[in-house]
A and B are shown apart, each in its own frame.
Chain A
């Protein structure tokens, strides 16, 4: 089983104490056992230096195939990760919308963004022989996810975010067979998709749904105790 986040989860909207809130969220995601997160605009609000400082605290990688350090520089974070599940290799690539860098918390040219679809295509070509399954963890929005599915062969599943779509049933591209899911917004939903794959990693069947995270779901007592015990230390807000 994999637990993935499609971005903008480390920091929320109008928050203060950016770094301490982000540290708290990383700690929480560590405890929940996240396997990967794609860098979205919420993460970039930390600024590149703070983001790179906080990443080693995570037990999971922050991913993006197309964000760069400065315009035209090397990639900001690792583009993909390879996970072994039993005897099967699963690759997860991160993809970020171009507009994600258009925020005042980033200085001019601090973080660049390459074309996400072309970057994904190149990355998939590089890793397709290393993994049976390729998952794109996407902070593009549903419309771009559909373009990604149409234009890049080799992606088996797109786990999407950014646009807040609550896809109660997955979509599937008719030509490439890529399956697309998205679980609403604001952490109100947990997406669950069960894939059945053949020995070459092709999807034979799938079943997906989004579970509403209502108060009917019991709290985990250990997690609640940990959360109560953590007292974030206020840090000065980055200058705006």
Chain B
């Protein structure tokens, strides 16, 4: 049982390393946005321009 536990731990550790490595590769390739795993916030911007209807003179 002890040996099985060691193998299990080694297997889980290997799997974790593999998973982290794969995520890193995907992130570098732009296929996984690590930022999407983080909390986000929202910002709405309303915008106008030229409200009085100005036309620049020619030339």
Given contacts A90-B43, A103-B57, A197-B43, contact A6 B52 (CB under 8 A): no
B40 to chain A, nearest CB (A): 5
B41: CB under 8 A from chain A?
yes
The residues of B with any CB-CB pair to A shorter than 8 Å are 33, 35-36, 38-57
Pair A186/B53 contact, Cβ less than 8 Å:
yes
Tell me how many residues of A have a C-beta within 8 Å of chain B: 56
Pair B50/A10 contact, Cβ less than 8 Å:
no
A235 to chain B, nearest CB (A): 16
Q: What separation, in Å, do the CA atoms of A186 and B50 have in the docked complex?
A: 5
* 6 CB-based A-B contacts, threshold 8 Å: A9-B52, A9-B54, A40-B49, A42-B54, A45-B54, A85-B43
> A198: which B residues are within 8 A, CB to CB?
35-36, 38-40
> A114: which B residues are within 8 A, CB to CB?
none
Most B-side CB within 10 Å, residue of A162, A186, A191: A186
> B35: which A residues are within 8 A, CB to CB?
198, 200, 202, 204
A72: CB under 8 A from chain B?
no
Pair A7/B50 contact, Cβ less than 8 Å:
yes
Residue in B closest to A213 when the chains form the complex, CB atoms: B48
A109 to chain B, nearest CB (A): 19
Query: 20 more A-B contacts (CB under 8 A) besides A2-B43, A187-B50?
Result: A1-B43, A5-B48, A6-B50, A7-B50, A8-B52, A9-B48, A11-B52, A11-B54, A85-B43, A133-B43, A162-B49, A183-B49, A186-B51, A191-B45, A193-B44, A193-B47, A195-B44, A196-B42, A198-B36, A204-B36
The one of B33, B38, B43, B53 in contact with A185, judged by C-beta atoms closer than 8 angstroms, is B53
A181: CB under 8 A from chain B?
yes
Given contacts A1-B44, A2-B44, A103-B57, contact A9 B49 (CB under 8 A): yes
